[in-house]
Amino acid sequence: MDAGRMNLINKRAILKLIKERSEISRSAIAKVTGMTPPTVTRIVDELVQNDNLVEYVGVGDSSGGRPSVVVRLKNENNYIIGIDLGATYIRGCMVDLNASFISDVQIPTEIEKGFSSIIEKVIQLINRLISRKGTEAKIWGIGIGVAGLVNSDTGIIETSPDFGWTNINLRKELENKIALPFFYDNSTRLMALGELYFNNKTKISDFAVINVGYGIAAGIVIDGKVVKGHAGFAGEFGHISVDTCSDVICKCGMKGCLEALASGHRIASLAKNSITNKNASILRRFCENIQDNITAEIVANAAKEGDLVSIQIYDEIAEYLCRGMGTLVNLLSSEVIFIGGGVALNGDFFFDLVNSKKSKYLLTPNLKLQILPATFGEQATSIGAVSLVMEKVMNLEL
């Protein structure tokens, strides 16, 4: 191996160690990596002076010799933009290298206005975020989470049923307007990547993130790596069959899919069909007796207030979700399931329901499964998109 390649490998290892430890001395870096102190000093100096990714923060304790210099990631003026391109809202954030928020923006997608309008909205949102940075700040790149099948080899969004897109080159559309590197992937897979990179409370290497919103999908992590599958299409959890007797047709064309039976869209649809039920009085009040006003959130709020129809609807979708999660966990032996998306934002009401039903579908060794809210809530996809760029930064590819 030539010297340049070896230096890059060592540099990546040191940079990732600094991120992991938050703050670490050069002597500790040498001890952990097995590199010589002069090599560590030279590489850290490069990361500080040339790459501007690391900064000195003082000296550590001494056990008799010269006190060791302590370093950390340089967050000031080093920013990444993350975008959640959703069917209802486009959310964006600008964060530092520790995912601490500098600024965030949310605008309605207005999907009915078509592709060109959506692209223009994304560009406007990005420019609003860029305008809030200081003159000395650097934006390393822009990550975007998209609902749909993103080919990891070509970067083409092969299909996005939520948007009605086929074979879209999003990078080409955006790089013509903004001179920054763009990276994008399936939104739920990015939610899993965000948990892997920035969830400092739960250090686990085998888990899944289930996104329950307008549709349902999963991001799967095994041995600390996000599973992509062939060409990047892994994780279509919403299209496993959870009821072979169901007549409900999914948008994929099959019957009995989890997404067709337990998504936010399904919750609203069931409620709309039940609005005249005598036990739906609270639901009627919450939607002002207008069927088209009903959303999964309104149904959840009605259920929390004791609306019997709404309670029954959420009980049904929780049953289907647990059936699907049982299949996933029994197959992969995941330690934790994080649930994100709009439906998961209903708090304890939703998670109490799910936790009360999960054991029915789990093998005994998996009964310790934890089911937790996605760490970053509404910003889970945005932070995941940040992680996509962060991977490039940590690998010194930008």
Contact 344, 257 (CB under 8 A): no
Band the pLDDT of 354: cuts 50, 70, 90.
Answer: very high
- State whether residue 107 is helix, strand or coil: strand
Q: At what angle do helices 187-198 and 380-394 cross, to 10 degrees?
A: 70
**Residue 81 gets which letter from DSSP?**
E
The structural domains of the chain, with segments of one domain joined by +, span 3-73, 78-196+380-394, 202-374
Contact 29, 68 (CB under 8 A): no
In tens, the pLDDT along 44-83 reads 999 999 999 999 987 765 555 566 789 999 998 999 999 9
Which residues have a Cβ under 8 Å from the Cβ of 210 and sit 6 or more positions away?
Answer: 188, 216, 217, 218, 237, 321, 325, 337, 338, 339, 340, 341
Name the more confident of 151 and 70: 70
**Could you give the CA distance from residue 364 to residue 355 in angstroms, rounded to a whole number?**
15
- State whether residue 310 is helix, strand or coil: helix
Contacts made by residues 347-350, CB under 8 angstroms, sequence distance 24+? 347/373, 349/300, 349/303, 349/304, 349/314, 350/300, 350/314, 350/318
Contact 357, 318 (CB under 8 A): yes
How large a percentage of the chain has pLDDT more than 70?
Answer: 97
Most confident of 62-66, 86-90, 357-361: 357-361
The domain defined by 78-196+380-394 folds into: Nucleotidyltransferase; domain 5 (3.30.420)
Evaluate whether 3-73 and 202-374 have a shared fold. Answer: no
Band the pLDDT of 364: cuts 50, 70, 90.
Answer: very high
Contact 145, 84 (CB under 8 A): yes
Contact 219, 192 (CB under 8 A): yes
**Residue 154 gets which letter from DSSP?**
T
Cβ count within 10 A of residue 308: 16
Model-level pTM?
A: 0.87
Which residues have a Cβ under 8 Å from the Cβ of 36 and sit 6 or more positions away?
Answer: 30
Q: Does domain 3-73 have CATH number 1.25.40.10?
A: no
State the average pLDDT over residues 161-177: 87
In tens, the pLDDT along 180-222 reads 999 999 999 999 999 998 886 667 889 999 999 888 999 999 9
**Could you give the CA distance from residue 142 to residue 156 in angstroms, rounded to a whole number?**
17
Q: Given this model, what pLDDT does residue 41 score?
A: 94
Cα angle, residue 322 at apex, residues 208 and 218 outer, rounded to 5°: 30
The domain defined by 202-374 folds into: Nucleotidyltransferase; domain 5 (3.30.420)
Question: Helices (H), strands (E): how many in the chain?
Answer: 13, 16
Mean pLDDT in the chain?
90
**Could you give the CA distance from residue 212 to residue 1 in angstroms, rounded to a whole number?**
47
Structure tokens at 196: 């892997």
